[in-house]
Structure 1
Amino acid sequence: MTASVPRQDSQKNNGLSAKFFHKLASGVPGVLFTYCLSADGSQHWFPYISNRVEALFGLDPESLRRDAEGVFARIHPDDLVGLEESVAQSAADLTPWCYRARLKMLDGSYQWYEAHSRPERQEDGSTIWYGQYTNIQHYKSLEQSLRESEEEASYQAQFQKLMARFSADFIHLGFGTIDECIDKLLAGIGGFFEVDRAYVYAFTDGYTHMTNTHEWCADGVPSLLESQQKVDIRNFTWWQEQIRHMANQDAVVFVEDTRALPPEALAELGLLEEQGVRAMICAPILVRGQVMGFFGVDSVRVRSWRADQSELMFIVSGLLSGALERNRLEEDLVNQSVRDPLTGLYNRRYLMPRLHEMLAASRRHGERFCLAMFDIDHFKQVNDSLGHLAGDVILKRFTTLLLAHTRANDLVSRYGGEEFLLVFNEVAADQEGSVVTRILEAVRGEYFRFKDDQARITVSAGVVCLSEFQGARVTPEILIREADKRLYQAKEGGRDCLVDAGGLSRP
């Protein structure tokens, strides 16, 4: 028979054990607990919970031993429903309970905690869990940091891939396809940056006006392309200052909320509000060292831009700058091959293919046009008396008069020497004479000045219209030969006149 332990010694030993247990629990980083849920789920309490809940959350352990609601009130609303469901599931099948949730700390911030416990069914049907929950904020922060690093690396990799693809497109750019390539770039960049618009604007010399040349819009966002042509920005004080920054400091323009623009931007704010723009960022486009425009993106909502957004914008604007500079160089080279270097007019190399195209269009669609050949009267005498430099001045001034009396869709070219060809589109055969007459009159009334000398000159013209051939197959050579023949007749008829199908007429 074993000796029994005296009641007084037992109470003493139990007291020592409780005291020891509290000391032990206070040294644990987390919170030790026993949590009890009644059989019907209507009541819950903590038979035991370590005193750390008071230091961490400002909760009284004694009150929690009567009602656990104080702890549950500290759980982040987004985590509460899932936590309650997990407790109910653990109570139903008596599986270990493990859950992560954010708890509101004494200072008002939320931090992540993880709970581990094992359930045990009691005789009255209630369930009691024995476990602890510990702070895992450090691990969640590290996890978030790693996730953000991975997302950032992925973002940068996708951006570089996008830029590499468009760089290849611009490298293999065919002449005349740059607009299509820019439109594709804006669509790709607009979607990648998740903005509402992406666009390119061009400045006039002196930054007095700007024109939207290319634009991409997200679905449902209205286009501004048509309304943003030759916009007068001379009175945009704030914007002019931003242009100077872009030109002088190679800087970007950040606007996260248009309502925060300074008072001097009142005119600009009115335009942006009219367009529905709430945030924007613009980067300069340089061609031959000069800011010729800018690349920008818009948002119809207030937004915060990335810290490295300026670098990303510069990469895009740099790609555009290089492509536009190369395109301008190619245009210059093409213009040098098809334009007369003295007058800037198209030369014969450009004229002949265009006449072939116009004749083909006439055969398909019945389009009609007329051709006039001009020759400056007694031009050799001008060269001999005043010199070839004076002759060049006269040729250039005559070019100016020709362009002033023709339309944008007319074709004006220098055929050779002092001979010029004018092709008028959509002019009836009985109207071409009045056009040529106005040109002859303008030349006759002009003083051609060179240094201290001045001269009065006249021109002769031969005119032929496609309608004269009544369906016969015509070539550019036939048209030019007939115009040249009539020009010769005008010279023979006394000069300063024109000859067309109706014969000679003098203004």
Structure 2
Amino acid sequence: MTRPANERQIIRACNESLQALLCASVNISILDLSTDENVSPDTRALLETTQLLIQGYAEATDFIGALAKGNINVEPPRKNHLIAPYKELHASLQSLVWQIQQVADGNYNLRIDFLGRVSDSFNRMVAALADKRRIEAELSLSEARSLRAETVAKAGHWEWHPDEGTIYGSPGVYKIFGMENQPLTLDSTLDVVLPEERSRVYHALRQLVEGDEPYDIEFRITRRIDGQILDVHSIAEYDRARRIVFGIIQDISARKCAERALDYQHRFQKMIAEISSDFINADHDDLDARIDKMLQSTGAFFQVDRAYLFQFSADGKYMNNTHEWVSAGIDPEIGYMQNLPLDSFPWWANQVRENKNVYIPDVSRLPPEAAAEKEEFQRQGIQTILCVPISRENKVIGIFGFDSVRAKRVWEDDQVFFFKVAANTVSNALLKHKLEQELIESAVTDQLTGLFNRRYLHTHLPPLLEEYKRTKKPVAVAFFDIDHFKKFNDTYGHLAGDFILQQFAQLLKENIRPFDIACRYGGEEFLVLANGAGGTVVSTIAERILEKARTRYFEFDGKRLHLTLSCGVADCTEFGEQALNAETLIDTADRRLYRAKEGGRDRCVYGDDASEGNE
């Protein structure tokens, strides 16, 4: 049977389309069904079959290829059920192409029964494709659930093909990395790992692939989109048969942040416990050393450049930098921070006096009203400063401060709270020190005049005399008595007498050397202990004090009071070593005091007359 030329042309077109299909060509055009009524039924059947084959075979080829590579997770029995019809159809198509070619060449008629077998094979493949679509729907649902799970868990899964050098990541991976959905390589993935941890992560991956070592690692990354640093945890297994690494990665920043916060709190509590124990066990004399140690501990803990303590004067007008710690390479400022008027820094001082924390994140952005503070802070190179007032009995007595010099510093609320706890520890230590000082002073200080008392004198004089015996460093005493003191009490009352005692004590302190010791010996008697000075020098000092007293008037209750003094001086060089002791030295000065009174008062006596002997 000879076919018309146009029919043979249609058959050849079908043949070419099917050959292209078998060669997995792309963009195959689907033939339109001929409306030519002269086309034979078998040719029309060929056209219909070819159209269906072109529609379904390409889709099946892509699906079966993904299935064969393992890119679609399907159980083995079901996988075979999907692949078998495809293989059968592929073989039938190869035979069909050959037969169509023969028909197109005019050799013999196309066998309808063979087309039927091809159609049966195609129907089975269509059924398999329907199963394939169900699988895709299931996979789509599974992927949606997986994506939701990844979002909730802040996780993603990934595959690494070492031979190809490629990495495939789920949306969760890209979200963690802060990257667009783009091809990944090992190098581009390692680029997001912090540089100091990169080699550790790479080594762990190589050990998994080459040494079968477990891959279970925590490290930190920098998100590409915003530069945020995240803590991540990744685990993986290596499929040696398929040479693929399957892994997951999870953002564990929240957990690590909580762990670090807990560790931070534990370390801080331990530090505060050690500091508190130090202060509790500190003696009065080593408090300064304990404060210095505390500044070093807290400065290192909070990672600042300078930690310091300022204490305010009793009237709250001046402040002194009493203690300071600086980190390596930072210049100390304590030498420049003495006797500073608080009003020199009004903006800062007003906040401190109101017992407010002063936190300046960026010194360069201080307001115009803080111009004086800005100038001083910048002179010291400070970028960020935090000061916490130290108070006692609702009165601010100083500040505890931290400076950041090398870089700006952000202080979180919990850190400021911890800093306040440390400041309270310092405040408690200073209060303890003050109470101890007051206790010591109450034992050795005269409450009316503020001078040392007789107990203090008899404690400190003997060691000085022993030192004189070893080194010949002189020691001398001047014994004073207020002339006619009883008349102040009798004429003006005891309050006037107390006033005179206080005024003379102040005059005495103003006219002796800083290292001399002034004591109220009892009643209206006072004694000055001079270390390192002989009788001649002390006599000169005593004469100056007598002159100041006789030329000064003291106003009391509208009345001008006047006083004079009698004084006796003695020094250790007047005695042999066997005879020299505190009692003999004071007694000698006392006898000379009475000689001054007997001589008419308002005078100083130094040296013996014929009736005295000091051997």
The whole-number CA distance in structure 1 between the counterparts of 2:474 and 2:452 is 21
More deviation, 164-173/29-38: 29-38
Q: What is the aligned partner in structure 1 of residue 239 from structure 2?
A: 118
The whole-number CA distance in structure 2 between the counterparts of 1:491 and 1:390 is 23
- Decide which structure has the larger Cα Rg and report it: 2
Q: What is the aligned partner in structure 1 of residue 14 from structure 2?
A: none
Of the three residues 249, 253, 262, the one matched with 1:144 is 253
Q: Which amino acid counterpart does residue 317 of structure 1 have in structure 2?
A: A
The whole-number CA distance in structure 2 between the counterparts of 1:332 and 1:479 is 30
More deviation, 93-102/390-399: 93-102
The whole-number CA distance in structure 2 between the counterparts of 1:336 and 1:271 is 41
Counterpart check, 1:161 vs 2:270: yes
Q: What is the aligned partner in structure 2 of residue 77 from structure 1?
A: 191
Q: Which amino acid counterpart does residue 193 of structure 1 have in structure 2?
A: F
Judge conservation of contact 2:304–2:402 (CA < 8 Å) in 1: yes
Judge conservation of contact 1:76–1:104 (CA < 8 Å) in 2: no
The whole-number CA distance in structure 1 between the counterparts of 2:135 and 2:548 is 113
Q: What is the aligned partner in structure 1 of residue 38 from structure 2?
A: none
Within 5 Å, which residues of 2 pair with 1:474-493?
474-493=580-599
Q: Is there any run of 5+ residues in structure 2 with no aligned partner, and where?
A: 1-86, 94-117, 148-155, 611-615
The whole-number CA distance in structure 2 between the counterparts of 1:387 and 1:116 is 100
The whole-number CA distance in structure 2 between the counterparts of 1:436 and 1:53 is 90
Q: CA deviation at 1:365?
A: 3.0
Q: What is the aligned partner in structure 1 of residue 362 from structure 2?
A: 257
The whole-number CA distance in structure 2 between the counterparts of 1:488 and 1:53 is 100
The whole-number CA distance in structure 1 between the counterparts of 2:555 and 2:320 is 37
Within 5 Å, which residues of 2 pair with 1:293-308?
293-300=398-405, 301-308=407-414
Larger relative CO (CA 8 A, sep 6+): 1 or 2? 1
Structure with greater helix percent: 2
More deviation, 72-81/397-406: 72-81
Q: Deviations over 1:320-374 (max 9, x none)?
A: 2222222222222222221222211111011111111211222333321221111
The whole-number CA distance in structure 2 between the counterparts of 1:452 and 1:32 is 95
Judge conservation of contact 2:312–2:398 (CA < 8 Å) in 1: yes
Specify whether residues 86 and 310 from structure 1 end up closer, same or farther in structure 2 by C-alpha distance, changes over 3 A only.
closer
Q: CA deviation at 1:226?
A: 2.0
Q: Deviations over 1:225-270 (max 9, x none)?
A: 2221112331312212221332xxxx32212222222222222122
Within 5 Å, which residues of 2 pair with 1:25-424?
25-27=139-141, 28=143, 29=146, 75=189, 77-79=191-193, 118=239, 120=241, 129=244, 136-137=249-250, 140=251, 143-246=252-355, 251-300=356-405, 301-424=407-530
The whole-number CA distance in structure 2 between the counterparts of 1:96 and 1:443 is 93
Q: CA deviation at 1:390?
A: 1.9
More deviation, 367-376/6-15: 6-15
Q: Deviations over 1:106-159 (max 9, x none)?
A: 9999997877663557xxxxxx64x8776x44xx2xx33222222222221222
Q: Percent identity?
A: 33
More deviation, 272-281/350-359: 272-281
Q: CA deviation at 1:426?
A: 3.0
Judge conservation of contact 1:94–1:120 (CA < 8 Å) in 2: no
Q: What is the aligned partner in structure 2 of residue 124 from structure 1?
A: none
More deviation, 474-483/84-93: 84-93
How many equivalent pairs are there? 473
Of the three residues 412, 436, 444, the one matched with 2:542 is 436
More deviation, 454-463/21-30: 21-30
Q: Which amino acid counterpart does residue 118 of structure 1 have in structure 2?
A: D
Q: What is the aligned partner in structure 1 of residue 15 from structure 2?
A: none
Specify whether residues 233 and 18 from structure 1 end up closer, same or farther in structure 2 by C-alpha distance, changes over 3 A only.
same
Q: What is the aligned partner in structure 1 of residue 603 from structure 2?
A: 497
Q: CA deviation at 1:182?
A: 2.0
Q: Which amino acid counterpart does residue 160 of structure 1 have in structure 2?
A: Q
The whole-number CA distance in structure 2 between the counterparts of 1:405 and 1:481 is 24
The whole-number CA distance in structure 1 between the counterparts of 2:227 and 2:300 is 39
Specify whether residues 472 and 226 from structure 1 end up closer, same or farther in structure 2 by C-alpha distance, changes over 3 A only.
farther
Specify whether residues 157 and 454 from structure 1 end up closer, same or farther in structure 2 by C-alpha distance, changes over 3 A only.
same
Judge conservation of contact 1:98–1:117 (CA < 8 Å) in 2: no
Judge conservation of contact 2:464–2:531 (CA < 8 Å) in 1: no
Q: Which amino acid counterpart does residue 279 of structure 1 have in structure 2?
A: T
Specify whether residues 117 and 160 from structure 1 end up closer, same or farther in structure 2 by C-alpha distance, changes over 3 A only.
closer
Judge conservation of contact 1:461–1:499 (CA < 8 Å) in 2: yes
Q: CA deviation at 1:287?
A: 1.9
The whole-number CA distance in structure 2 between the counterparts of 1:448 and 1:109 is 74
Specify whether residues 325 and 24 from structure 1 end up closer, same or farther in structure 2 by C-alpha distance, changes over 3 A only.
same
The whole-number CA distance in structure 2 between the counterparts of 1:448 and 1:211 is 33
Q: Which amino acid counterpart does residue 155 of structure 1 have in structure 2?
A: Y
Q: CA deviation at 1:177?
A: 3.2
Specify whether residues 389 and 72 from structure 1 end up closer, same or farther in structure 2 by C-alpha distance, changes over 3 A only.
closer
Judge conservation of contact 1:95–1:119 (CA < 8 Å) in 2: no
Q: Deviations over 1:475-507 (max 9, x none)?
A: 110111110111111111111111112779xxx
Q: Which amino acid counterpart does residue 209 of structure 1 have in structure 2?
A: Y
More deviation, 493-502/14-23: 14-23
Judge conservation of contact 1:96–1:116 (CA < 8 Å) in 2: yes
Q: Which amino acid counterpart does residue 293 of structure 2 have in structure 1?
A: K
TM-score, normalising length: structure 1: 0.79
Judge conservation of contact 1:461–1:486 (CA < 8 Å) in 2: yes
Counterpart check, 1:468 vs 2:574: yes
Judge conservation of contact 1:198–1:297 (CA < 8 Å) in 2: yes
